[in-house]
Structure 1
Amino acid sequence: MTVLELSTDQLLSTTRAVRKRLDLTRPVERSVLRECVELAAQAPTGRNRQRWEFVFVTDPGRRAAIADLYRLGLTRPTVPVPYDGVDRSEADGRQRMADSAQHLFDHLHEVPVLLVPCVHVVREPSPSVVAQANLWGSVLPGVWSFMLAARSRGLGTAWTTAHLHYEREAADVLGIPYESVQQTALIPVAHTIGTDFRRAPRTDSDAVTHWDSW
């Protein structure tokens, strides 16, 4: 596997959520996924305990079942999904995002690899803010490192969460012990069609930066 010649800044600024440019016809080598996991394992994790584990779904039947739960989560969510309205100035961008999301909706079962990052937990009815921060802080750095490593190897990824509306059903499909292991996302993984990704339009850094107080 050839690693792309990207500077650190290029890697950080061009790792996109890839949906329409996932190559649905090309298999992903397990050795490449292992390389990405090895790098992900070097990410910081709470108390230096690696409480996360990755479940890669490559079996066509299981991929189809998880994809169906993803679609069900979007069309029949178990809890209301907040909606903040559409800014007319962003309408074009929202439409492009909607087209991209629809493409993934239609083709998720064809993506050669689905990654379900998991974390060991003691499930609580209403976890405290501290407990939530500890949980996500222990798994997100590793997942993001995996996604960066994947990008550098010509793979595309996207963080999705819709299937979590039916997490217990997904646990049954994948044999995940629901009571002690929490799924955190569903990430399609595939070679990308082309590797020329660009920086995305983002809010100016000064608009989201505060010094000493809000």
Structure 2
Amino acid sequence: MTISADELLTTTRSVRKRLDLTRPVPLELVKECLDIALQAPSGSNVQNWHWVVVTDPDKRKAIGGYYERAWRRYRESAASAGRLFADDPDRAAVQQRVSESAAYLAEHMGEVPVLVIGCLTVPALPEGNQAGLWGSLLPAAWSYMLAARARGLGTAWTSLHLAYEHEIAELLGIPGDVRQGVLIPTAYYTGETFGRAKRQPLDTVLHIDQW
């Protein structure tokens, strides 16, 4: 697949309903994407990230079960995607589609061929704003997702599993000083390709020199 940088950045979508649950994903391809992810910046060049790649069917099923339980709670909360912007007909319709696709992923997370969990070695989580901490994981995780997109793989950034972080850590043998930050389902996608998403105009969120 040949794709320009601009097209890659504007068409890397959250893939949920279009994940191909039946087609195996070669581990070497996942490792190739992660090798690219390791070129991302890391705070103070610590590189304290770890990547747990889950392909075992029983473990994927167990993680999927935890994810679905967390989804059910989230779906009923005020922060649920389907409940947002209810007073804006245009955005409400989009939110309903997002909610439906998120529900589909929750029901099928355990069937996704590869689950990638990005982690950081952290002796203790700091109080207050943690942007500086997770800023050492997010760029690398996004680089993984971009590399996957360039290779015909679909992904989605998810974090609902963190409601069961301890249970999943036990399942996978993750040490106590390692914290999970993201769960990235990874699979080939169905259909042709992806287009640009509808976003709010830049001028509605841009602030120059002051708010």
Same fold (TM over 0.5): yes
Q: Which residue of structure 2 aligns with residue 159 of structure 1?
A: 157
Q: Which residue of structure 2 aligns with residue 184 of structure 1?
A: 181
**Corresponding letter in the other structure for 1:14:** T
State how far apart, in whole Å, the 2-side matches of 1:81 and 1:152 are: 35
| Aligned residue pair count | 205
**Corresponding letter in the other structure for 1:156:** G
Aligned-pair distance for 1:99? 1.6
State how far apart, in whole Å, the 2-side matches of 1:149 and 1:23 are: 18
Question: Does the 8 A contact of 1:154 with 1:195 survive in 2?
Answer: no
Q: Which residue of structure 1 aligns with residue 87 of structure 2?
A: 87
Question: Does the 8 A contact of 2:71 with 2:103 survive in 1?
Answer: no
Cα displacement string for residues 77-98 of structure 1 (whole angstroms, at most 9, x for unaligned residues): 6xx7745742332222122112
Determine if the alignment matches structure 1 residue 27 to structure 2 residue 20. Answer: no
State how far apart, in whole Å, the 2-side matches of 1:88 and 1:210 are: 24
Unaligned runs of 5+ in 2: none
Q: How does 1:75-154 map to 2 (within 5 A)?
A: 75-76=72-73, 82=79, 85=84, 86-89=86-89, 90-124=91-125, 127-129=127-129, 132-154=130-152
Identity of aligned residues (%): 50
Cα displacement string for residues 91-113 of structure 1 (whole angstroms, at most 9, x for unaligned residues): 22122112211211221111000
Question: Does the 8 A contact of 2:154 with 2:189 survive in 1?
Answer: yes
State how far apart, in whole Å, the 1-side matches of 2:115 and 2:41 are: 23
Unaligned runs of 5+ in 1: none
Cα distance change, pair 88–128 in 1 and its aligned pair in 2 (3 A): closer
Scaled by the length of structure 2, the TM-score of the pair is 0.92
Scaled by the length of structure 1, the TM-score of the pair is 0.91
RMSD, aligned α-carbons = 1.6
Q: What secondary structure, in the 3-state scheme, does the structure 1 residue paired with 2:137 have?
A: helix
